[in-house]
Amino acid sequence: MAALTKLLEVRSLSKKFGGVLALDRLDLSVAPNDILGLIGPNGSGKTTFFNVVTGIYPADAGSVIFERVDITQAASRTVYRAGISRTFQRSRLCLSLSIFDNIMIGNHKRLNQGLWFNLMRRSDFKRQFEESYQAARTLLDVFEPRLCDRIFEPAAGLPMIDRRRIEICRALINEPRLLLLDEPSAGMTHEETNELMDDILQVRDRKKNLTIIIVEHEMGVIERITDRCIVLNFGRKIAEGPYRQVAADKQVQEAYLGVAL
């Protein structure tokens, strides 16, 4: 069998909200183990793209192909089970729950949630808990080892960078093939952003089967960690290539209202 050269391929993807065309015949692809940056002004369609790919919004036209399977109209649960996980721009942690519980929210594909299993098959339940606990600790250790010792503490007392780390761990606990990161640096300082990008690069190096698409407004992040980036404006792709190439594009600079990238 030929090697998979395109993990995700999007063809002429379109999405309307009333009279607003949020995605306008968008074409893009990403190869296995790549980090693709998705950039553009506010309202350019970046988060809408994530929402359509993950089944939150249905596409109005076009197709989404993941590992050669058409998932264009698939429900969010189906997309998740296929191997696509994501984070959100706004934190979605359950702050009253522990770090461990927040991570396990992302592991429901593997957890047996049946009443009989949980009440009667106690040895199997214990084994499943121990496996889940170890998997969560392994992920936390990559991001911030000291969180391992706080794994049963509520998430409410954590700084923003650790909350972001937990959200990414929650997305990774399912061992996805494709991870979608929606502005992971939002709400963090420059130093915290650099730390989190170190974490993401380390995860990608360790997980050779992981591909990442990252939406970011911090151009330093895009320049540092992406292999390639795509620029959107009014739902259309206006540039694609290595960061330095697209940053020099006049159309891209105009889209950012003249702000130098």
pLDDT single digits (tens) 208-224: 889 999 999 888 889 99
Task: Identify the weakest region by mean pLDDT among 12-16, 45-49, 175-179, 252-256.
Answer: 252-256
Can you tell me the distance from the alpha carbon of 16 to that of 25, in angstroms, rounded to the nearest whole number? Answer: 11
Question: For residue 228, what pLDDT band results from cuts at 50, 70 and 90?
Answer: very high
Helix, strand, or coil (residue 131):
helix
How wide is the angle at C-alpha 152 spanned by C-alphas 148 and 155, nearest 5°? Answer: 90
Q: Which residue has the higher pLDDT, 218 or 99?
A: 99
Question: For residue 126, what pLDDT band results from cuts at 50, 70 and 90?
Answer: low
Q: Which domains, from first to last, does the chain contain?
A: 1-83+176-261 (3.40.50.300), 94-159 (no CATH)
Can you tell me the distance from the alpha carbon of 91 to that of 27, in angstroms, rounded to the nearest whole number? Answer: 29
pLDDT at 247 over 70: yes
Per cent of the chain over pLDDT 70 is: 89
Q: What is the pLDDT of residue 176?
A: 94
Q: Which of 161, 166, 227, 173 is nearest to 197 (CA)?
A: 161
If phi > 0 it is left, if psi is from -120 to 50 it is alpha, else beta; for residue 200 that is alpha
Question: For residue 205, what pLDDT band results from cuts at 50, 70 and 90?
Answer: confident
Question: For residue 61, what pLDDT band results from cuts at 50, 70 and 90?
Answer: very high
Mean per-residue pLDDT over the chain, rounded: 88
pLDDT at 109 over 60: no
Question: Residue 152 burial by CB count (10 A; 0-12/13-18/19+): exposed, middle or buried?
Answer: exposed
Q: What is the pLDDT of residue 108?
A: 61
Task: Identify the weakest region by mean pLDDT among 47-51, 81-85, 251-255.
Answer: 251-255
Compute the average pLDDT of residues 27-45.
93
Give the list of residues 6+ apart from residue 238 with CB closer than 8 angstroms, or none: 231, 232, 249, 251, 252, 255
pLDDT at 202 over 50: yes
Can you tell me the distance from the alpha carbon of 120 to that of 40, in angstroms, rounded to the nearest whole number? Answer: 53
Compute the average pLDDT of residues 145-173.
94
- Report the relative pairing of strands 178-182 and 61-66 from DSSP bridges: unpaired
- Looking at mean pLDDT, say which of 112-116, 210-214, 245-249 comes out highest: 210-214
Helix, strand, or coil (residue 10):
strand
pLDDT at 236 over 50: yes
Can you tell me the distance from the alpha carbon of 92 to that of 165, in angstroms, rounded to the nearest whole number? Answer: 12
Q: Phi, psi (5° rounding) for residue 121?
A: -95, 70
Can you tell me the distance from the alpha carbon of 47 to that of 52, in angstroms, rounded to the nearest whole number? Answer: 9
